[in-house]
Amino acid sequence: MLFLVVSGSYLLSEKLTAYSWSRPAYFKFGLPAVISLLAGVFMFWLINRPKTADFLIATEGEMKKVSWSSKKEIVGSTKVVIITSFIVAGILFGVDILFRLMFNAILGSG
């Protein structure tokens, strides 16, 4: 979220600099800085509300209950997914070729 605010402020600064306004430099760079500061204050307020804090505490408690897969299980599952994807792609390629040959024979175009 902070990255979006900072990058947005930078883009705003670039846009304000691109226009040949008779505005002083503090307007071109101060406005994005004020927007970044206000966004930071808003995010600080949002995170430190009791409702949000309770949610984050409950989330941490639930994450401790999760049984995480081992590296061996993840590697094995990844191999199965990749191999299955290639098999399905091969089958679809074959069916596509078959349909192309069939429709070319039906329509008589070579």
pLDDT in tens, 47-61: 888 888 899 899 999
pLDDT tens track for 95-106:
999 999 999 998
User: Is the CB of residue 16 less than 8 Å from the CB of residue 27?
Assistant: yes
Scanning the structure block, which residue is given the tokens 């800085």?
A: 33
What are the angstrom distances between the C-alpha of 46 and each of 1, 3, 40, 52?
12, 17, 10, 7
Q: What is the pTM of this model?
A: 0.45
* CA dist., res. 91 & res. 72, Å (int): 29
* CA dist., res. 30 & res. 23, Å (int): 11
Domain count of the fold of the chain: 2
41 and 71 co-located in one domain: no
What residue numbers bound the domain in which 109 lies?
A: 67-110
pLDDT tens track for 13-63:
777 766 656 666 667 777 778 888 888 888 888 888 888 889 989 999 999
73 and 36 co-located in one domain: no
